[in-house]
Amino acid sequence: MIQAEAKRVKGYYYWIALVVFIIDQVTKKIIATQLELAEQIPVIGNFFIITSHRNPGAAFGILKEQTTLFIVVTLLVVAGIIWYIQKNRHSGNTMLLAALGLVLGGAFGNFLDRALYGEVVDFLQFNFGSYTFPIFNVADMGIVIGVGLILLDTILDMKNDYNKTKQDGAAANDETERNADTDESVR
């Protein structure tokens, strides 16, 4: 049902990208304008906190101050995703196209921040005891969920290919046995 609905909405993968991008930009703007840097609002005790943080690097703060590198790499990734979506838009593979839409929206959201400000606004903080998971944003969620769905789609495709190969092998064995039975009856 969902897959049929998604096929009816032309370019749904671009709509997904747009929704992720808009939610990401709106939430970042709220955080940047309403909270002081490092200000925190506890949501669920010390476990989940909204905080105002800036990340001049990539995921987990690696490669700080490499804005030009990130902009070039992101432009290549965005171009690659758009090319792949266009190439596969009629494939009927809803999960893959939706996943690519999530990654596209997230990549573009973080790209815009880096291009305009040289850093990304992060604000979702989770603490597990004394461990603080790296602070992230909606764009990061789109990218991670999208990549997870791409991996799931790949695993499901591999499983389907394996089952098809197994069925084809069984069908070939049945055909061989029928041919052998026919040969014996002719003798």
Q: Name the residues annotated as catalytic.
A: 122, 140
Left, alpha or beta for 11 (phi > 0: left; psi -120 to 50: alpha)? left
Reading the block at residue 44, the tokens are 């669920």
DSSP symbol at 37: T
Residue type, 95: M
Rounded to an integer, what distance in angstroms lies between the CA atom of residue 159 and that of residue 154?
9
Rounded to an integer, what distance in angstroms lies between the CA atom of residue 128 and that of residue 135?
13
Nearest partner of 137 among 158, 109, 118, judged by Cα: 109
Q: Give the Cα-Cα-Cα angle 65, 70, 74 (nearest 5 degrees).
A: 165
Residue that has been written with the tokens 């669920």 in this structure: 44
Reading the block at residue 32, the tokens are 């940047």
Residue 54's φ and ψ, nearest 5 degrees, are -120, 135
